[in-house]
Chains A and B, each alone.
Chain A
């Protein structure tokens, strides 16, 4: 039983953490073939070949596959599907864009954001913003699955898979890339960071969000934000943690000035240790926090930053 795994490739570079976590999840299903697709993907393919558990790597390089447009990428995967029982990917925005399209082309359901693999047909996934876990058994001949990377440990290195170059599918020519606006960051990537420090509405302004960033930098952490902080313009969209943002499960999650709405908890309640700093002792965040401090964040956060030095 073979598994085709769409590697997360951005501008020719492999997102190793997301791909390795998906490989770890997919290894439970069968032999894993990784597909690296992009305008340039050879280097990403070479890197993917070194992930433990990868049996084979397919590299598809074509201008039409640049910027990960859904139509040509889905056509490529659907064209390869006959050899595989499972078609999987890490649940990133790229995969969420492409995989349902692939599934419909194959006339099968997609199983999104899988957090547990029971067997080759049976999967666990969170529903209702993570307030329930549903176990579903697929009756489809092919299973199209995205894996919630925060639920799996990354596969190690030491693999030596063979790499084969394949050609792209015909470009349907329905869409074109115009531009990217990438938020530059030297910090660890949010979904793979060991520590995440997040700020919410309580931070009050874009300037004061520097307090959150300073603490994060002291801890070598990634910076997250609640929807309220993003909507108020304190932090960029791609920092949002929650049901509609990113799902993280770091060793340590520090929630500052965040009340703890259902939609935010959906993105972080699988963190190993949660610390909450909030001046409202009734805030729901304290119900999931391992350590809670009722304090004004403008006093507590600078003090915390200093004492961690």
Chain B
């Protein structure tokens, strides 16, 4: 079975982003970019399924600017077999919406015919949490979101999901879309020899037009602003003072 893993190049999760003063967006010039953390978990899960003999080939796909090929090389260094880059934006500040990404992925999937797609549950930049579900809808496939455990058993996958209030286990017919939650696994680091080997693995470069998909946004960004800042707090010297302050405010 072939597994397809969509990955996204996003601002590194440790970076404290800055909103541009003119409200046009978040400043991404000269900011460290990395693979979306949930996508690392998705890649790791695909590799583990290959190591367990369930998967035969892992194809990583990324959509965005040309520089996303660095992110794909990271996936190849972790253990993906080959990569497809779909260049759909000239500027790092252009975020292709989940609906357009899902349509592009659908076209790739129709050409590649994977048995399973493992995506991250959300990208830490737009925080949408939508692409996997949209892709499942467009393909008419089953979906298993927020997965913390995946077991492939013949033509079904048994997936434990992290839901409000606990865990839910469902079984889905393959082919299916699974989206990875934090608890699914601990992603491996790419070793230096594997990073070198990854440079020789195949990476196909395509454009959105190759797939006939219109990537123009449905949502127009009117403005981007700083969240309301909190007024400065005060430090209290001891527990008694803290209790007095909270009682004073009627909170306890």
* Chain A residues packing against B (C-beta within 8 Å): 10, 67, 69-71, 74, 92-94, 96-105, 107-113, 122, 125-140, 172-183, 191, 195, 219, 227, 231, 236-238, 243-244, 246, 251-252, 262-263, 269, 273-275, 286, 288-295, 300, 303-304, 307-308
Given A97-B133, A140-B218, A269-B230, are A104 and B121 also a contact pair (CB < 8 Å)? no
A122 vs B130: C-alpha distance when bound (angstroms): 19
A109 contacts B167, CB within 8 Å?
Answer: no
Given A134-B221, A262-B16, are A71 and B143 also a contact pair (CB < 8 Å)? yes
A113 contacts B246, CB within 8 Å?
Answer: no
A274 contacts B233, CB within 8 Å?
Answer: yes
A231 vs B186: C-alpha distance when bound (angstroms): 11
Instruction: For chain B, residues 153 to 170, give those with C-beta under 8 angstroms from any C-beta of chain A.
Output: 158, 161-170
A252 contacts B140, CB within 8 Å?
Answer: no
A6 vs B129: C-alpha distance when bound (angstroms): 18
Which residue of A71, A103, A243 is within 8 Å of B124 (Cβ)? A243
A304 contacts B239, CB within 8 Å?
Answer: yes
> Can you sample 29 A-B contacts with CB below 8 Å?
A96-B133, A100-B128, A100-B129, A100-B133, A100-B137, A103-B99, A104-B133, A104-B137, A104-B138, A112-B128, A127-B125, A128-B127, A132-B17, A133-B224, A133-B226, A135-B223, A135-B224, A136-B220, A177-B170, A180-B166, A183-B165, A238-B163, A244-B122, A274-B233, A286-B235, A291-B242, A292-B235, A295-B238, A308-B252
B249 on the A face (CB < 8 A): yes
B102 contacts across to A, CB distance below 8 A? 104
A304 vs B239: C-alpha distance when bound (angstroms): 6
Which residue of B17, B122, B141, B249 is within 8 Å of A174 (Cβ)? B141
Please name the residue on chain A nearest to B223 by beta carbon: A135
B143 contacts A128, CB within 8 Å?
Answer: no
B26 contacts across to A, CB distance below 8 A? 127-128, 131-132
Please name the residue on chain B nearest to A185 by beta carbon: B165
A293 contacts B242, CB within 8 Å?
Answer: yes
Given A101-B134, A133-B226, are A293 and B235 also a contact pair (CB < 8 Å)? yes
Please name the residue on chain B nearest to A218 by beta carbon: B252
Given A104-B99, A133-B227, A291-B234, are A181 and B144 also a contact pair (CB < 8 Å)? no
Given A101-B143, A110-B128, A132-B226, are A286 and B233 also a contact pair (CB < 8 Å)? yes
B134 contacts A103, CB within 8 Å?
Answer: yes
A127 contacts B126, CB within 8 Å?
Answer: yes
A307 contacts B243, CB within 8 Å?
Answer: yes
B245 on the A face (CB < 8 A): yes
A105 vs B82: C-alpha distance when bound (angstroms): 31
A127 contacts across to B, CB distance below 8 A? 26, 125-127, 224
Which residue of A98, A108, A177, A181 is within 8 Å of B218 (Cβ)? A108
Given A128-B125, A219-B252, are A10 and B165 also a contact pair (CB < 8 Å)? yes
A273 contacts B249, CB within 8 Å?
Answer: yes
A172 contacts B251, CB within 8 Å?
Answer: no
A100 contacts B165, CB within 8 Å?
Answer: no
A289 contacts B137, CB within 8 Å?
Answer: no
Which residue of A128, A136, A173 is within 8 Å of B221 (Cβ)? A136
B131 contacts across to A, CB distance below 8 A? 100
Question: Can you name 17 extra interface pairs (CB under 8 A) apart from A275-B246, A288-B230?
Answer: A93-B163, A96-B145, A98-B133, A103-B134, A104-B133, A125-B127, A128-B125, A132-B19, A136-B221, A139-B218, A177-B168, A236-B166, A262-B16, A275-B242, A291-B235, A292-B236, A293-B237
A178 contacts across to B, CB distance below 8 A? 158, 169-171
A4 vs B8: C-alpha distance when bound (angstroms): 33
A96 vs B245: C-alpha distance when bound (angstroms): 39
B50 on the A face (CB < 8 A): no
